[in-house]
Amino acid sequence: MSKGICPVEPVMPTSWRKDNKPHKFCPGCGHGLVLKCLGQVVDELDLQDKVVFGCDIGCSLLAWDFFNLDAVQTHHGRTTPVMTGIKRSRPELICIAYMGDGGGYSIGVQHLVSAAARNEKITAILANNTQYAMTGGQMAPTTLPGQKTETTPYGRDPELTGFPLQGQEMVSAVCREGAYVARGSVANQRQLKSYLKKALENQLAQRGFSFVEVLSTCPTNWRTNAAETWEFVQEKMPEYFKLGETRRPADMRGEGLANG
């Protein structure tokens, strides 16, 4: 209770472990916000006894003991196959694969796309912070044109290194009926929560693959203050990464695709 400087304990999801909070992400990091929304959804769906949480290597590795959930930290890019392996062996478990944009869209892209194509009944959540954060801020497939990173010190030149990968659209393109695919943002947590909830409900209903890309923040490597961080995630990133749902199973409740 004497941890930190806050005299009152903030309200945390029940599915969070309280003994190791405050968490280890940098201040202002988007990972914590994604995991907060995810924790709330796990609570609301009452899934604490069913979920197995897998995290990648990247800053997401810090989440291995984040929840009061059975969990495994895998290798960089390999969380999708590990969770696929668990699900194929024990279909009654709700398997969540949590990864970064480097893990999901670069080194592990074949796993993500293949799992989507096979309609694996798992939920993959990818935090897109436009670079490799854990290794010190190198260019990722998602780095914006002109964005400075440690390996594009003069800004990403699309002529040399291509344009930001439309990962969510790529996943969506190989998905079939039964899949749920959306892109949310830590800048709109209400919407993000609704996407995460549907992504888990879709697995519960055993319809098919569920995927949510989340536009996330990394003030440490972006070298941004609070206002600049928020501007980047809220204004800049959606110029390349369109928010909304691109796939929703026919029998999912509600009308049309929510492109909030």
Ligand X SMILES: Cc1ncc(C[n+]2csc(CCOP(=O)(O)OP(=O)(O)O)c2C)c(N)n1
Chain contacts with another protein (rule: CB under 8 A): 14-15, 17, 48-49, 52, 57, 61, 64-65, 67-75, 78, 81-90, 93, 110-111, 114
For residue 46, which phi and psi values (nearest 5 degrees)? 55, 55
Report if residue 164 touches ligand X, rule: CB under 6 A. no
Quick one: what does residue 123 bind among ligand X, Mg ion, ligand SF4, none, with the CB cut-off 5 to 8 Å set by partner type?
none
186 binds ligand SF4 (CB under 6 A): no
CA distances from 83 to 33, 91, 172, 197, 216 (A): 22, 11, 19, 18, 23
Q: Which is nearer to ligand X, 34 or 179 (CB)?
A: 34
Peptide bond into 10 cis (omega under 30): no
Closest distance of CB 200 from ligand X, Å? 21
State the burial class of residue 65 (Cβ atoms within 10 Å of its Cβ: 0-12, 13-18, 19+). Answer: middle
The reply on whether position 214 binds ligand SF4 by CB under 6 A is: no
Which residue has the CB atom at the shortest distance from Mg ion?
100
Helix and strand totals (H; E) in the chain = 10, 9
Residue 85: phi, psi to the nearest 5?
-60, -40
Q: How far is 192 from 153, CA to CA, in rounded Å? A: 32
Residue 42 near residue 36, CB atoms below 8 Å: no
- Decide: is 149 part of the binding site for ligand SF4 (CB under 6 A): no
213 three-state secondary structure: strand
* Binding-site partner at residue 82 among ligand SF4, ligand X, another protein, none, CB < 5 to 8 Å by type: another protein
- Contacts to ligand X from residues 46-85, by CB under 6 A: 57-60, 76
Task: Return the residue of 220, 229, 241, 248 that touches ligand SF4, per CB under 6 A.
Answer: 220
Which spans of this chain sit near ligand X (rule: CB under 6 A)? 57-60, 76, 100-103, 127, 129, 132-135, 140
* Chain contacts with ligand SF4 (rule: CB under 6 A): 25-26, 29, 31, 59, 129, 133, 218-221
